[in-house]
């Protein structure tokens, strides 16, 4: 018992998680085009910059219309940490003057909470975008190797909504995932193979083709942890169709993962995580849990062999926690055991983060990842022998103007296989 207590205390002191590829660190940063660097031009652009940041953090594209947010505009300068200017080229190659504003994130969260708005955590699903564009008799798949205007549009729109995306490399293995069934717009089984290859939890698939009246028509399928959503949109400009799809995808994800911080909705959930084999697993499990939107606090209660028992203070209860965990590919839900001991849990999950994933080389949205722990000794042995790896601890819209037409956004319960 003394060894176990010492183990829990020392692991807590040594704990450090890994910044996953899905960790977005600039949600409080906005970039807007300005005509010049004058004070008048800057003051005029600040509401739009604030809108960008609030939309990314809340997931609500209409957040700026709320009275509480409008009332905060006269004091907008109090929310600014810093600002700067830079010259950047747009997708057409023209030079633009960009005002970058960094807002105080705690201040933004406070405003959103007062407005009763949900807050989407920094840890967001990395989404593979599989886009088929029909050009005459041929079908092209947009890939990471083609740095054309369409890929730039996708990346820019995804950054505006704070959702990380990547495009496939389209090597020989990726080409085997292409849909060869002309009778079906999407081959879900092949898309799921692509999801497994790239180690992501969601994929946005689209089929785009031109129409006789010089418009673009697109069919979309979003798989989020296996749950399918289908819709269609059309537009006179291909850029608008792509922007509309990214907006719809972000809205769907935010509706699932953003959480209202209401103390009246807080409740404690006991979670047991199995297959936590070493210090690296332990660090990653706790780091992942602490970054989930519904999680306010994580407390380690016990650990026996490779079973980690934690108590989680949640915002939204057990169901909100389960929805958040469903987007984490390393957590697999398990049935409640028929016989439970003294430390019975409310939820049981299995950790699979110690299973290596061989990902192909791709270009991704701007994300950051830290060095990985490679310790293979057991957690207890590593700590009691003082040979655990040492790592630095981390501190714990006015968006796209969408002119495309939308049809039939719905959950497709029959598409998953």
pLDDT digits (tens, 9 = 90+) for 121-169: 888 889 999 999 887 777 788 999 876 889 999 999 999 999 999 999 9
Q: What's the whole-model pTM score?
A: 0.66
Task: Specify the pLDDT at position 351.
Answer: 94
The Cα–Cα gap between 254 and 251 comes to 5
Q: Looking at the predicted structure, is the pLDDT value of residue 67 above 50?
A: yes
Per DSSP, the three-state class of 269 is strand
Task: Specify the pLDDT at position 354.
Answer: 67
Q: Does residue 397 sit within a domain?
A: no
Q: End-to-end alpha-carbon separation of the chain, Å?
A: 47
Q: Does residue 316 sit within a domain?
A: yes
User: Which domain range does residue 190 map to?
Assistant: 127-259+402-411
If asked whether residues 253 and 133 sit together in one domain, one would say yes
Distances (CA, A) of 191 to 152, 154, 188, 338: 23, 19, 5, 36
Residue 268 neighbours by CB distance under 10 Å: 14
Q: Looking at the predicted structure, is the pLDDT value of residue 343 above 70?
A: yes
Q: Which among 92, 64, 232 is positioned nearest to 156, based on CA atoms?
A: 92
If asked whether residues 303 and 407 sit together in one domain, one would say no
Q: Does residue 391 sit within a domain?
A: no
With pLDDT > 90 as the criterion, what percentage of the chain qualifies?
47
Task: Specify the pLDDT at position 263.
Answer: 58
The Cα–Cα gap between 298 and 321 comes to 12
Q: Does residue 102 sit within a domain?
A: yes
| Domain end position, chosen among 86, 119, 152 | 119
In sign, the C-alpha dihedral spanning 190, 245, 144, 368 is negative
Q: Looking at the predicted structure, is the pLDDT value of residue 288 above 60?
A: yes
Q: Does residue 416 sit within a domain?
A: no
Does 343 or 72 have the greater pLDDT score?
Answer: 72
The Cα–Cα gap between 9 and 383 comes to 10
Q: Looking at the predicted structure, is the pLDDT value of residue 357 above 50?
A: no
If asked whether residues 204 and 277 sit together in one domain, one would say no
How confident is residue 378, by pLDDT bands cut at 50, 70 and 90? very low
Contact indicator for 22, 367 with CB cutoff of 8 Å:
yes
CATH number at residue 142: 3.40.50
If asked whether residues 231 and 355 sit together in one domain, one would say no
Task: Specify the pLDDT at position 259.
Answer: 72
Q: Does residue 356 sit within a domain?
A: yes
Q: Looking at the predicted structure, is the pLDDT value of residue 256 above 90?
A: no
Mean pLDDT (whole number) for 214-228: 89
If asked whether residues 68 and 134 sit together in one domain, one would say no
If asked whether residues 373 and 335 sit together in one domain, one would say yes
| Domain end position, chosen among 66, 89, 119 | 119
Q: Does residue 232 sit within a domain?
A: yes
Contact indicator for 50, 113 with CB cutoff of 8 Å:
no
Write down the mean pLDDT value for the chain: 79
If asked whether residues 275 and 370 sit together in one domain, one would say yes
Pairing mode of beta strands 259-260, 266-274: unpaired
Question: Looking up tokens 């910044």, which residue turns up?
Answer: 19
Task: Find which of 320-329, 343-352, 403-412 is predicted with most confidence, using mean pLDDT.
Answer: 343-352
Contact indicator for 24, 367 with CB cutoff of 8 Å:
yes
Q: Does residue 390 sit within a domain?
A: no
If asked whether residues 81 and 197 sit together in one domain, one would say no
If asked whether residues 52 and 151 sit together in one domain, one would say no
| Domain end position, chosen among 84, 119, 154 | 119
Q: How many domains does the chain have?
A: 3
If asked whether residues 243 and 270 sit together in one domain, one would say no
Mean pLDDT (whole number) for 96-117: 94
If asked whether residues 193 and 72 sit together in one domain, one would say no
If asked whether residues 134 and 106 sit together in one domain, one would say no
The Cα–Cα gap between 98 and 156 comes to 14
The Cα–Cα gap between 43 and 50 comes to 11
Q: Looking at the predicted structure, is the pLDDT value of residue 173 above 90?
A: yes
Does 388 or 354 have the greater pLDDT score?
Answer: 354
152: Cα separation from own chain's centroid:
19
């Amino acid at each position: 018992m003394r060894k176990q207590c010492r183990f829990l205390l020392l692991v807590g002191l040594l704990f450090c998680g890994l910044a996953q590829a899905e960790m977005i660190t600039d949600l409080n940063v906005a970039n807007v085009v300005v005509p010049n660097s004058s004070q008048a031009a800057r003051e005029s652009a600040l509401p739009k910059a604030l809108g960008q940041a609030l939309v990314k953090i809340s997931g609500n594209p209409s957040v700026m219309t709320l009275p509480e947010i409008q009332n905060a505009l006269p004091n907008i300068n109090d929310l600014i940490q810093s600002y700067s200017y830079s010259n950047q080229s747009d997708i057409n190659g023209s030079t633009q003057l960009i005002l970058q504003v960094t807002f105080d994130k705690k201040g933004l969260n406070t405003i959103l909470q007062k407005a009763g708005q949900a807050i989407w955590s920094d840890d967001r699903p990395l989404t593979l975008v599989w886009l088929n564009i029909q050009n005459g008799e041929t079908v092209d798949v947009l890939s990471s190797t083609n740095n054309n205007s369409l890929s730039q549009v996708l990346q820019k729109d995804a950054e505006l909504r704070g959702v990380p995306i990547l495009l496939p490399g389209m090597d020989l293995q990726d080409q085997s995932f292409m849909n060869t069934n002309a009778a079906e717009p999407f081959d879900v089984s092949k898309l799921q193979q692509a999801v497994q290859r790239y180690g992501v939890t969601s994929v946005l698939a689209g089929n785009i083709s031109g129409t006789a009246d010089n418009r673009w028509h697109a069919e979309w399928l979003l798989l989020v942890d296996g749950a399918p959503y289908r819709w269609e949109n059309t537009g006179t400009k291909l850029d608008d169709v792509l922007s509309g799809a990214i907006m719809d995808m972000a809205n769907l994800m935010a509706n699932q993962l953003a959480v209202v911080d209401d103390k009246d909705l807080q409740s404690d959930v006991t979670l047991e995580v199995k297959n936590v084999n070493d210090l690296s697993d332990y660090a990653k499990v706790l780091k992942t849990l602490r970054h989930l939107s519904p999680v306010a606090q994580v407390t380690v209660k016990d650990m026996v062999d490779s079973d980690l028992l934690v108590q989680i203070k949640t915002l939204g209860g057990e169901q909100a926690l389960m929805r958040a965990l469903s987007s984490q590919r390393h957590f697999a839900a398990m049935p409640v055991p028929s016989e439970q001991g003294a430390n019975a849990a409310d939820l049981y999950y299995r950790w699979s983060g110690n299973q290596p994933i061989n990902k192909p080389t791709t270009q991704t949205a701007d994300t950051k990842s830290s060095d990985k722990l490679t310790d293979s000794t057991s957690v207890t042995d590593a700590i009691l022998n003082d040979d655990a790896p040492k790592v630095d601890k981390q501190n714990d819209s006015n968006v796209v103007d969408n002119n495309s037409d939308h049809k039939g956004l719905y959950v497709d319960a029959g598409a998953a296989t």
